[in-house]
Chains A and B, each alone.
Chain A
Amino acid sequence: MPLETKENSIFKVIGASSLGTLIEWYDFYIFGSLASIIGSKLFPQDTGASALINTLAIFAAGFIVRPFGALVFGRLGDLIGRKYTFLLTLVLMGGSTFLIGLIPSYSTIGYAAPVLVLILRLVQGLALGGEYGGAATYVAEHAPVHKRGFFTSWIQTTATGGLFLSLGVIVLTKNFLGAADFASWGWRIPFLLSILLVGVSIYIRMKMQESPVFSKLKSEGKVSKNPLKESFNHKANFKMVLLALFGATMGQGVIWYTGQFYAQSFLENTCKLDFNDSRYILLWGIAFATPFFVIFGAWSDRVGRKWIMLGGMLLGVIFYRPIYQVFLEDSDLSRVEQKDIKSVSAPVRTSMLMENGQDSLISESRQVALKNATVYTKIQSQIKYADPAKAVYFQPEVLKDKKLNRAVFWKFVGLIFFQILLVTMVYGPIAAFLVELFPAKIRYTSMSLPYHVGNGVFGGLVPFIATLIASFPGASPLSGLWYPIGVAALSFVIGTIYLSNKKPEHTEAG
């Protein structure tokens, strides 16, 4: 049986594998992208911040269970085969995403709503933990050995593609329905849409053949009897699992999530950019940078994986703080002078009772347009106490919904592009790197765990830990960056000293 697939067939393999993986990432990311709306609809309405933190905690929980998914489905994939295992993960992911879109609001079913979200989010995390290792292994085992970097890099584009698709669907849905309907019920559409995408992908995957390498292992009776034991209880393999984690995936994970998640969250929540603008900037950055996954993947076939991946980490360590400093400075409109203002709209006044049911929060918002085409909303709020003895409390002025002028907009796109370029450097070659690090019979299990601990735990917690650090007394808005910078620096040092740039020479099934 030939162990390599013909070039035209392998593109069918890549297409079928990538589509399913892309949809799984889409499913996973729409939750993150809509975290604040989910927080307000499906969580107790204490305060917005509390709901958001709860959601982020569940978001993190989604990532935390990924390593368990890697173990459960990795073991299955090494026992029964790659094809059926990553079909199962696709069904679980699509089903749970669809069901999230159907959960009634907290005001309708109370605490059952957040509990259901948590359960479905955990299922999503488990499914994602099993998906990636299967897709990467499946493609790599069809690819010629000397072109593994190139062919597996197509799988690597799916994570970014999934994010692109999720942002695109959210922005289109919101623009089509309008902000009010989107916030009311339209946010459910991206979740419900998943069932169609998954249905198509399952149909395509059903027609695929099992990996030739696994088929050969099976026909020769060489399939591992206990993949978990062979992966983690044998020192020769376990030491490579640890090296893959600390020398590669840990740093790769934080670079990935900083560039693609934290950046957008920072633009929206810290810089207070307009909802759509923060997403358009990311979309453009992703669109320009995505081809580099394949470029760096193919290049790694020629020069080795190590230095491309470590180069991406080092550049992140050096440039993150300067980049985010520019984001802060260029979006700071607190010192706008009167002569720069083109127009100010009439004030819109709103009044609402506070949680105690007695005091009132009175807000006045104006839209300000500057001569350089920047537009933003200025909100001045005051708390009027029911107790006449208490003086009115004037809250600090808030500037939000900033729409940047074109020059700053494209500058931000360039800075996001650079961050995603770093993502393509660390992420493009990593599937081939991990696949080559482990022998075929325990490959699914062995590569899945370090990948998902690196990405799920270290990477997935970037928004959570960075937000936490930035909330410490005395912290600046840039303080949260110390987490990804520190982790990437540590991984760079370990990778530089311990990793080899040579490809291990495994016999695949012999």
Chain B
Amino acid sequence: MNVLKRILGLFWILLGPCAIILMSLQAIEKIGLAAEGAAKTNTALQWGIILLIFIPISTGLVIFGYYALKGEYDRLPSEEGSERV
């Protein structure tokens, strides 16, 4: 299982930027399709908000993948039975 955890770490690292690129392409397409004026502004605003909040989350996914790749999740605190405060 630990090997799978580490291999998938690479996948999570790649998934983060891929998700943002995909969203950005969608945003460009949908903003382009929107009618001129208020509708375009509205669409741009919506996608802007979505991208703004998903960029840090995708960064978190990359860090999660990096930790997985480095074996940080091979043993969790619950499996070590460690006592933390």
Partners in one complex: yes
Using CB atoms, name the residue of chain B closest to A436: B78
A505 touches which one: B4, B49, B78 (CB < 8 A)? B78
Contact partners of B38 in chain A: CB under 8 A: 46, 50
- For A498, the closest partner residue in chain B by CB is B73
Complex alpha-carbon distance, A468 and B50, angstroms: 11
Chain B stretch 1-30: residues in CB contact (< 8 A) with chain A: 1, 4-5, 8, 12, 30
Give the secondary structure class of B's interface: helix
Q: Which of A22-36 contact B (CB under 8 A)?
A: none
Residue A245 interfacial (CB < 8 Å): yes
Known interface pairs A497-B4, A498-B73, A506-B83; A57-B57 also in contact (CB < 8 Å): no
A270 to B23, CA, bound (A): 25
Give per-residue flags for B36-78: 1 if the beta carbon is below 8 A from chain A beta carbons, else 0: 0011001001100110011001001101100110001100111
Q: Output the nearest chain A residue to B74 by Cβ-Cβ distance.
A: A498
Whether the pair B49, A50 counts as a contact (CB closer than 8 A) is no
Q: Interface residues of B toward A: which range?
A: 20 to 34
The answer to whether B78 and A441 touch across the interface, beta carbons within 8 angstroms, is: no
Instruction: Closest B residue to A53 by CB, please name it.
Output: B42
Residues 452-510 of A at the B interface (beta carbon under 8 Å): 453, 457, 461, 464-465, 468, 472-473, 494, 497-500, 502-510
CA distance A483 to B44 in the complex (A): 20
Taking CB atoms, residues of chain B closer than 8 Å to A510 are 85
Pick from B33, B50, B68, B85: contact of A222, CB under 8 Å: B85
Among residues of A, the one whose C-beta sits closest to the C-beta of B68 is A498
User: Given A242-B67, A465-B50, A468-B46, are A500 and B4 neighbors across the interface (CB < 8 Å)?
Assistant: no
Q: Name the residue of chain B whose CB is nearest to the CB of A220.
A: B85
Give Cα distance in the complex from A144 to B73, angstroms: 28
Are A453 and B57 in contact (CB-based, < 8 A)?
yes
Partner of A506, one of B39, B45, B61, B85: B85
What's the least CB distance linking A345 to chain B, in Å? Answer: 37
* 14 cross-chain CB contacts under 8 A: A53-B42, A54-B42, A236-B84, A242-B60, A439-B84, A472-B30, A497-B5, A497-B8, A500-B76, A503-B78, A505-B78, A506-B83, A509-B85, A510-B85
Q: Which residues of B are interface residues toward A (Cβ below 8 A)?
A: 1, 4-5, 8, 12, 30, 33, 38-39, 42, 45-46, 49-50, 53-54, 57, 60-61, 63-64, 67-68, 72-73, 76-79, 81-85
A-B contacts besides A50-B39, A246-B12, 5 pairs, CB < 8 Å: A243-B64, A243-B76, A246-B64, A461-B50, A504-B77
